[in-house]
Structure 1
Amino acid sequence: MKLTVIGCAGSMSGPDSSASSYLVQADGPGPDGERTWSMILDLGPGSMGQMLHYLDPADLDAIAISHCHADHMVDLVGMHVFRRWNPTGALGPVLTLGPSELRTRLNGVDGTAPEETYASEFSFRTAVAGETVRVGPMTITPYTALHPVEAYGYRIEGPGRDGRRMVSLAFTGDTDLCSGAEAMSDGVDLLLSEAAFLEGRDTYRGMHLTGRRAGELAAGTSGEGGRTPAGGLVLTHIQPWTDPADTLKEAAEVYSGPLEAATSGASWQV
């Protein structure tokens, strides 16, 4: 599987990146032979345009939205326009996994009446914790996150770079430490973790991870501990007012594995 960062700025778009959006791809069989399967995790402000550098939306197989805050889903409006009014013809519905309120939230940001169902662009499926969804050779499983709204993290499993071993990637969405995030990240090959807060500066709990708490999550030491550490940690959702070096320093104090901060266009082969 391959992870590509489309956007990684936290809470808003930033000077160097759009807001949260990540492309996950894997090769596997399709109806017409071997092909690349593609899913998008979140579509925050500016990410629809940036996605065009990496993927033709006509080739998109699934979208997974972590929660319905605007910085994670507002560019579904752009995806709707691209799919419905494409001059080559309507692209048809794409599997769209997310919270139970996702469609009505889209009505709100798009300014449409409740009668607009977007059925010709999105095949909405409500995320259920522990209920796996298959996308080609990959499976995506939601885990309950700890955030002020209904929110999920996603664990994705699929073929590794050699095509024989199954590998795993976990995306926290927005969350504080919780049992769902801990179960999701247990033994994962690569953990893509938000780290919007800093220790001592941001004291509100139940919303975001700090670099340190993201490091504890990756190390398997948060909560009751005793979990298998993640094979690597990528910190994301860092706001423009925070120096990523500070966030990385916090994480490195508690996690000894490979550690990086996400940047727009960066990619990892899992």
Structure 2
Amino acid sequence: MKLTILGCSGSIPGPDAPASGYLVESGGTRILLDLGNGTLGTLQRFVDPFTPDALLLSHLHPDHCADFGALTVLRRYHPAPPYDPAERKLPVHAPAEAPERLAALYAPNAAERAGADLSDVFEFAPVPESPLRLGPFEITAFPVHHVCPSWGFRIAAEGRVLAYTADTGPCEELTELARDADVLLAEASWPDSPERPDGLHLSGKQAAELANRASARRLLLTHLQPWCDDAEILAEAREHTTVPTELVTTAARYAV
């Protein structure tokens, strides 16, 4: 299983990093986890953007789904696509309100917003309540604690496990999500300090403590906000765990 970082900036894009988005590949099957601002551009460095087999959206904040509008333009108007997008619709597993919310995001003008429909090139389904099979992948969604409905994803293939927290504050579900994961891709949006909002995101310390509780084998920190000190967050995480820990960067690739 291979993980490619399409973007890793939290809340907004950074000067050198799109927002959150990830490509996961195994055995010829490709899935996208989130598609925040700028991630469709990074995707094109590595694969034809028509080739992913599914898109999973953890939640509907712009830094995790804003490039869905650009993906809609691509699938509707590319002059020479490799297949007919209307015949081979992209499966999108997302929060229940995604069809309406994403149609409004894409709508080219206010008059077309009401009743807009993207089902010509996408096939929407709610975030699955039971494990989902996609090619060699088994994907289990865990509801996590955020200011809107949000899910983390546990992705198993080839005898390996990638756990992705998405956006979350501390919650009990995270431990099972990350249990014995080969790679824990955890948000660490800010340093652990009294000034940070409580329960909205993880700090570097909290991501490290999660890796410890879950016995994860490797910790990758993502969703670092441009106004925070990345080095401080990394040092904080390493202080609280012996699990190998590093910051991800845009376009980095990892074997899970």
Q: Per-residue displacement from partner, 1:223-252 (whole Å, max 9, x unpaired)?
A: xxxxx4101000000011112111111111
The alignment covers a number of residue pairs equal to 248
Instruction: Calculate the aligned-residue CA RMSD, in Å.
Output: 1.3
**Among candidates 241, 259, 262, match of residue 245 of structure 2:** 259
Secondary structure of the 1:53 match is helix
Q: Distance in 1 between matches of 2:161 and 2:25?
A: 12
Structure 1, 210-219 or 133-142: larger mean CA deviation: 133-142
Alignment of 1:224-235 (within 5 A): 228-235=214-221
- Determine whether 1:109 maps to 2:102: no
> Unpaired runs of 5+ in structure 2?
none
Secondary structure of the 2:96 match is coil
2:14 alignment counterpart: 14
Shift of residue 101, structure 1, vs aligned partner: 1.5
Shift of residue 141, structure 1, vs aligned partner: 1.0
2:53 alignment counterpart: 61
- Determine whether 1:75 maps to 2:75: no
1:24 alignment counterpart: 24
2:41 alignment counterpart: 49
Shift of residue 114, structure 1, vs aligned partner: 4.2
- Determine whether 1:210 maps to 2:232: no
Q: Per-residue displacement from partner, 1:92-137 (whole Å, max 9, x unpaired)?
A: 31111111111121122223434222112211110144x1111111
Q: Distance in 2 between matches of 1:87 and 1:134?
A: 32
Secondary structure of the 1:42 match is strand
Q: Distance in 2 between matches of 1:103 and 1:114?
A: 12
- Determine whether 1:99 maps to 2:95: yes
Shift of residue 53, structure 1, vs aligned partner: 0.5
Q: Distance in 2 between matches of 1:179 and 1:137?
A: 28
Shift of residue 201, structure 1, vs aligned partner: 5.3
- TM-score, normalised relative to structure 1: 0.88
**Taking every aligned residue pair, what percent have the same amino acid on both sides?**
36
Residues 1:95 and 1:230: Cα distance change in structure 2 (over 3 Å): same
Structure 1, 201-210 or 75-84: larger mean CA deviation: 201-210
Shift of residue 167, structure 1, vs aligned partner: 0.5
1:248 alignment counterpart: 234
Structure 1, 16-25 or 249-258: larger mean CA deviation: 249-258
Secondary structure of the 1:219 match is helix
2:188 alignment counterpart: 195
Q: Distance in 1 between matches of 2:143 and 2:192?
A: 24
